[in-house]
Amino acid sequence: MASNRQWAEAMSDRLWEGISSEYDQRTKDLIIQAFLGGLAEYPQVLENLKSSSLIESNYFDDDAPREVQGKNWRMRIRKGQAPRIS
């Protein structure tokens, strides 16, 4: 099960992708810092965002492949099996 920190980081990545390109990198960093600080201060907001349009509620499910997409790209991530050592 993913920790709240992992959820917050995944959400901030999604937010970063969605922030307008009108803003420079420093401004985007400040927005993300404020977002993460807010989630740390208000854990109920983090819980509410887990099933919002920002991130899927099954984002960290290991069984299903997951899709991540940006403005001009899409990537499907599948979890492989760890190698067995005998």
- Give tens-digit pLDDT for 1-49: 788 899 999 999 999 989 988 999 999 999 999 999 999 999 999 999 9
> Could you give the CA distance from residue 7 to residue 19 in angstroms, rounded to a whole number?
18
Copy the structure tokens of residue 70. 């940006």
- Whether 82 is in a domain gets the answer no
Could you tell me the pTM of the whole model? 0.66
- Whether 39 is in a domain gets the answer yes
Contact (CB, 8 A) for 43 and 11 = no
> Could you give the CA distance from residue 6 to residue 26 in angstroms, rounded to a whole number?
23
- Whether 85 is in a domain gets the answer no
Number of domains in the chain: 1
Q: Give the DSSP H or E segment for 11.
A: helix 4-18
- Whether 28 is in a domain gets the answer yes
